[in-house]
Amino acid sequence: MKNQIKFKASCLVAALLFIPVAQAAVSSKSEYAAVKARMAADYKVDRAACDASSGNAKDICVEKAKAREKVGLAEAEFAHTGSTEDGNKLQIAKAESAYAVAKEICDEKSGNDKDICVKEAKAAEAKIQGDVKMGKKIDSAMQEDLKTQRDANYKVGLEKCDALSGDAKTGCVTKLKTTYGK
């Protein structure tokens, strides 16, 4: 039975992390606003459906509704902007939402089982947050490396232009400045 509960909790976390994006083609501000409004309306409906439950089942239902809204809004923002930063925010939203739901599920347990459940959920969240941080560092390092390469190529190009004279040299330098954004 213990493994069955762990399996169900794992499936729930996985499902939250991979909720399909129905609004993946958002491109304009009006479409983005419509998606946000729909997410708010869906949350209200989901939240109202939770009133039929009581106790921890209601708490779990409410957390699931909040998670769907939070992840849906983050997905809409990422689909609208397509920025890496919003992609990172989406991953963080998924991790935080999965943790919140798993934590509520853990409330049904007691003693050591509850402690283990909460720590497993927290570890899953921490792993995703760590992956996002590592991705930011890798992205930053790659951008710095590209800048260093571009600067080096620009300097090499300037040296080649120095071998020329007159209009040829001016044209060469102008082309380099345009190419390398200097």
* Number of independent structural domains in the chain: 2
Per the CB < 8 A criterion, the answer to whether 65 and 96 are in contact is no
Q: Are residues 171 and 123 in the same domain?
A: no
* C-alpha closest to that of 105 among 120, 127, 90: 120
Q: Are residues 109 and 29 in the same domain?
A: yes
> From first to last of its 182 residues, what are the pLDDT tens digits of the chain?
454 555 454 544 444 444 443 334 445 788 888 888 999 999 999 999 999 988 989 999 999 999 999 999 999 888 888 888 888 899 999 999 999 999 999 988 889 998 999 899 898 888 888 888 888 888 888 888 888 999 899 999 999 999 888 999 999 999 988 988 88
Q: Are residues 84 and 170 in the same domain?
A: no
Q: Are residues 38 and 117 in the same domain?
A: yes
Q: Locate 116 and state its tokens.
A: 């283990």
How far apart are the C-alpha atoms of 172 and 176, rounded to whole Å? 6
pLDDT of residue 27: 55
Structural domain span for residue 160? 144-180
Q: Are residues 83 and 158 in the same domain?
A: no
Q: Are residues 153 and 83 in the same domain?
A: no
How far apart are the C-alpha atoms of 72 and 70, rounded to whole Å? 5
Query: SS in 3 state form for 155-182?
Result: HHHHHHHHCCCHHHHHHHHHHHHHHHCC
Q: Are residues 107 and 160 in the same domain?
A: no
Non-local (6+) Cβ contacts of 91 within 8 A are: 128, 131, 132
> How confident is the model over 89-126, as pLDDT tens digits?
999 999 999 999 999 999 888 899 989 998 998 988 88
